[in-house]
Amino acid sequence: MKELLDNLNEKQKEAVLKTEGPVMAIAGAGSGKTSVLTKRIAYLIFEKNVHYENILAITFTNKAANEMKERVASLTGLFTNRMWISTFHAMCSKILREHIELLGYKKSFQIIDDDDVTQLIKSILKKKNYDIKMFKPKIVKYHVTKMKHDPLHYNDIEAPLNDVVKSVFRDYEKNLAENNLVDFEGLLILTIRLLKENKEIRNYYKKVFQYIMVDEFQDTNNVQYELIGLLVNENNNLFIVGDEDQSIYAFRGANIENIRKFKKDYPNYHLVLLEQNYRSTNNILTAANQIIKNNKSRVPKNLFSDKGDGAVITHYKGITARDEVEFVAMTILKMSRMGYKFDDFAILYRANSTSRMFEEVFMQKKIPYRIFGNTSFFKRKEIKDFTSYLRLILNMDDAFSFMRVISNPKRGIGQVTIDKLVDFAIAESLDLFEAIDRSNEILGKSAVNKLIDFKNMIIDFRVKLDELSFSQFVDYILSESGYIEMLKKDEKGDVRYENLLEFKTILSENEKIYETLEKEEILLYLLEDISLKSEESQSEIEDGVTFMTLHAAKGLEFRVVFLVTMENGMFPLNSSFNDKKQFEEERRLMYVGVTRAKEKLFITNANTRQTYGETNQNPDSAFLKEIDPELVEVKGYSEIINTPASKSTFLRRKTSIDLRKKSIQSYDKNELNKGDKVSHVKFGDGIIVSVAGDNCIIAFSHPHGIKKLLKDHPSIKKV
């Protein structure tokens, strides 16, 4: 037994040995909670002589459950296949497989996944003659799912969607029952119903589960909490482990109040604080403690480590967002030459749209990266949709873009109509817009009018390109095409819209780079650049710097972490400042981000940032100000403006900033500047129109015209 407790600290041993009655273990980030859970199971089996089938251990993911099984198998030498170590859904499936007949189902019931649910709801909508363009199946599915947990959710749905959801919900539940189907939510809800309605079954499982353990308790929702309560016997041998400071999934239904409900429902609970961290250095942990202590109604704890103080936190403030990104990239390159591998680094951000500029710079500098849990920016559906609109506006012969946007969003032009139009165009040797002009030869009046409306819309967009600013142009396309309305009915519409707004920033940046060019030429260069970037995207590689959201980072660790765009409005979000609960969740998200770092933490932001096409100057993140300045090394813009010398005169400050701008540009291999005359081995003499990163735009004499080239290419010489 001694061997089992080896390598455990005193608090971990306490959590393992305290087997009787309710126990709440508040496990700080990196405190070894999985070791505690698995050794507790082994202790119950070997020292308390508890049969393994009388132990229930619940976690949230199949990955976590499998890891726990492997560790228990290693500790005990027992086969774990028959052990009750599983997710909530797997446990309920096992129970229902034995007893679901009591609820009117057959034991042979099938579990349907999310895609199947969406298809079923789609078929119900069609059967009831609802317009699926107006009432998107995925949106209806979202509300149907919510109503399974909370019937009162109906009151929160706006008309006319609420009546549609109510009607579909009834048919959906009836369809599941008639076809012996169970969805994921139903697994939990049916199990609760089974236990409530059948005292004999409830008492049976209370007897079976002598000891219950629940991992990641802060992520439980109300249904899961109720389910646990129905399974706990009179001994109340319930062990929960979690960390309310890492409760960041309220948007998924997680209820942080469950930890507080536990205290109320089990007033004689034993509290164990797991505060020793095995991941990070003390400077990182002290910063995390200082941040999270500002949240109220939490169990106080202070993480500490035996890894020493380690490096201080670096706060780099760029002059611009580009400066911020360049600093991150150059720091990674520098540290990689010191022995760090690229997969030792993680860049964590609040919003997915943040990845765009990092992707761009990392591709330029040949730094491998991977985007965790998301698609590369330029491969995201909404970005590909929008660029297809732009390509078609610039080139009405672009059949590929035509086919992508004509029914995106849906505008009453069906596939049969499109197929007839394409066949006619091929037969008559016409482009697709020419075919529209003659579509009355093959199609009815209604279809012809819709096609003509589409053509006129694209022509109107082309006219508006010259009349509107780029920012206005983006808004105009999104509005007039119907794309905005389509996003409103998309469950991920907010995120997709945010990515499209980022396109304003891209256009604004390119307008400055190509300031001497016409708008049409700017768009042509931009679209070419996007095509290249999309092709070069490295989101699928296995080894490289990790890009991810803070939500996706929970449970992971990295030697070096960069928390980027740390400004009020970016992180924390503007919407959180007037909502205490949301602001505290944002702070917990910050805590999660800080505690991902093992050796070194960088916090970065910018003095000015192009956000959705507008230049903004946001204050440093409120969370940054909660860290003791003694723990932070300041670099960049903040370092410049806070030196005594800088405060003496404005001129000195401006000179310092200009020097820093020059240092940023010094990463470029060739000193080519706007206005320089050059000679090219093929295109002859030319003049530099603009310089951006590793590229330059050069105007050559007729017939070569304007070219975009690598400025350090050996074929280019400064004259």
Residue type, 28: G
Q: Which two tokens stand for residue 601?
A: 């933490």
Q: Which two tokens stand for residue 497?
A: 């819209």
For residue 367, give the nearest of 399, 402, 328 by alpha carbon: 328
Catalytic position from the list 33, 39, 146, 609: 33
Which residues does residue 313 pair with via DSSP β-bridges, in sequence order? 632
> Quick count: other Cβ atoms within 10 Å of Cβ 292?
29
CB 108 within 8 A of CB 180: yes
> Quick count: other Cβ atoms within 10 Å of Cβ 625?
11
Catalytic position from the list 59, 80, 87, 246: 246
Residue type, 366: K
Alpha helices in 295-414 (DSSP H): 321-336, 355-364, 381-394, 399-405
Catalytic position from the list 11, 279, 596, 598: 596
**SS3 (DSSP) at 404:** helix
Strand 677-680 and strand 369-371: the pairing is: unpaired
3-state secondary structure 30-95: CCCHHHHHHHHHHHHHHCCCCCHHHEEEEECCHHHHHHHHHHHHHHHCCCCCCCEEEEHHHHHHHH
Which residues does residue 270 pair with via DSSP β-bridges, in sequence order? 23
Residue 129, Ramachandran bin (φ over 0: left; ψ between -120 and 50: alpha; else beta): left
CB 422 within 8 A of CB 439: no
Task: Tell me, yes or no, if 87 is annotated catalytic.
Answer: no
Distance CA 718, CA 712 (A): 11
For residue 164, give the nearest of 120, 115, 119, 121 by alpha carbon: 121
For residue 189, give the nearest of 92, 304, 268, 290 by alpha carbon: 92
Distance CA 416, CA 394 (A): 27
Task: Tell me, yes or no, if 215 is annotated catalytic.
Answer: yes
Q: Which two tokens stand for residue 576?
A: 């959180």
3-state secondary structure 129-161: CCCCCCCCHHHHHHHHHHHHHCHHHHHHCCCCH
Strand 695-700 and strand 684-692: the pairing is: antiparallel
Distance CA 622, CA 603 (A): 13
Task: Tell me, yes or no, if 596 is annotated catalytic.
Answer: yes
Task: Tell me, yes or no, if 40 is annotated catalytic.
Answer: no
Task: Tell me, yes or no, if 246 is annotated catalytic.
Answer: yes
Catalytic position from the list 19, 34, 118, 375: 34
Nearest-10 crossing angle of helices 184-197, 222-231: 40
Strands annotated E in 525-579: 545-549, 558-563
DSSP state of 253: T
Distance CA 348, CA 372 (A): 10
For residue 715, give the nearest of 679, 675, 671 by alpha carbon: 679
3-state secondary structure 416-481: HHHHHHHHHHHHHCCCHHHHHHCHHHCCCHHHHHHHHHHHHHHHHHHHHHHHCCHHHHHHHHHHHC
Residue type, 251: F
For residue 667, give the nearest of 316, 334, 320 by alpha carbon: 334
Catalytic position from the list 38, 122, 215, 298: 215
Spell out the residues 6+ positions from residue 468 whose beta carbon is closer than 8 angstroms to its own: 476
CB 258 within 8 A of CB 217: yes
Distance CA 540, CA 76 (A): 38
Nearest-10 crossing angle of helices 184-197, 199-208: 110
Give the length of the chain.
719
**SS3 (DSSP) at 691:** strand
Q: Which two tokens stand for residue 554?
A: 């929970």
Q: Please give the positions annotated as active site.
A: 33-34, 215-216, 246, 596
